[in-house]
């Protein structure tokens, strides 16, 4: 299968736009002859292990974590730990801790279709990120799921501001190829010919916490 040239985030946050007409037909759901694709939810350097609990799971006590594959969604994905102390503080360290906590919760969402916690780190005006969440949530609601798609954002420098209101942070973005599986077995793969893309996140300290306003590729 030939993956699309850009990932969904690049498409919505300033990457070069391309056609997304590559809807791929794959094995039917629950085809036991299909093996688990290579690559998956691993622990990134400088980031916490991805966590979560899929919508079809009965909770962390139900059994051992199983990553998603062509036969079904991830199971028994543990939820992330509480954010580190100080993540709400209006400091550079507070920004980094906020970004780390948010990164863990988006990886929970991609495996479960539950972005409720990830949303808490966003401004309500962050249309690009919220659109991604709605697309994935809708996929899970109609009986589909996502294979891989785990993301890692590692700070690439110190936060800065020009007006003491909007702060910015460059991050290096690495991620696993994402395959969206429809209930009828169709698959669409999102990938990139780049590794370590640099993103710039804009944040604002509002109502006692950091909120992510938007992100864009640094080009």
All structural domains of the chain with their residue ranges: 44-217
- Residue 37, pLDDT > 60, answer no
C-alpha to C-alpha distance for 159 and 48, rounded to whole angstroms: 20
Question: Could you tell me if 73 and 97 are in contact, meaning their C-beta atoms sit under 8 angstroms apart?
Answer: no
Closest CA to 206 of 160, 165, 159: 165
**Cα–Cα distance between 89 and 136 in angstroms, integer?**
31
Which region among 2-11, 143-152, 209-218 has the lowest average model confidence (pLDDT)? 2-11
* Predicted structure pTM score: 0.76
Query: Does the pLDDT of residue 122 top 90, yes or no?
Result: yes
More reliable by pLDDT, 47 or 184: 184
Supply the pLDDT for residue 43. Answer: 29
Mean pLDDT of 58-73: 81
> What secondary structure, in 3-state letters, does the chain show?
CCCECCCHHHHHCCCCCCCCCCCEECCCCCCCCCCCCCCCCCCCCCCCCCCCCCCCCCCHHHCCCECCECCECCECCCCCCCCCCCCCCCCHHHHHHHHHHHHHHHHHHHHHCCCHHHHCCECCCCHHHHHHHHHHHHHHHCCCEEEECCEEEEECCCCEECCCCEEEEEEEEEECCEEEECCCCEEEEECCCCCCEEEEEEEEEECCEEEEEEEEECC
Identify which has the larger pLDDT, 36 or 7: 7
Class of domain 44-217: alpha beta
Q: Is the pLDDT of residue 58 over 90?
A: no
Among 52, 48, 39, which residue's Cα sits nearest to residue 177? 39
How much is the CA Rg of the chain, to the nearest whole Å?
17
Residue-level pLDDT at 1: 33
Q: What is the mean pLDDT of the chain?
A: 78
């Amino acid at each position: 299968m030939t993956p699309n040239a850009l990932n969904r985030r690049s498409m919505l946050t300033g990457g070069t736009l391309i056609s997304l007409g590559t809807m791929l037909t794959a094995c039917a759901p629950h085809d036991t002859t299909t093996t688990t694709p290579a690559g998956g939810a691993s622990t990134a350097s400088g980031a916490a292990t991805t966590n979560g609990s899929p919508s079809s799971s009965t909770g962390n006590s139900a059994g051992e974590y199983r990553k998603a594959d062509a036969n079904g969604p991830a199971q028994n994905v543990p939820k992330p730990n509480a954010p580190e102390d100080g993540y709400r503080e209006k400091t550079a360290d507070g920004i980094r801790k906020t970004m780390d906590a948010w990164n863990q919760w988006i990886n929970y969402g991609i495996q479960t279709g539950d972005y409720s916690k990830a949303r808490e780190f966003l401004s309500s005006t962050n249309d690009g990120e919220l659109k991604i969440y709605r697309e994935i949530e809708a996929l899970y609601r109609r009986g589909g799921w996502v294979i891989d798609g785990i993301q890692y954002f590692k700070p690439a420098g110190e936060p800065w501001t020009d007006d003491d209101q909007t702060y910015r942070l460059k991050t290096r973005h690495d991620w696993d190829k994402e395959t969206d599986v429809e209930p009828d077995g169709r698959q669409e793969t999102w990938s990139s010919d780049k590794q370590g893309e640099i993103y710039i996140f804009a944040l604002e300290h509002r109502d006692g916490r950091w909120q992510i306003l938007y992100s864009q590729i640094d080009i």
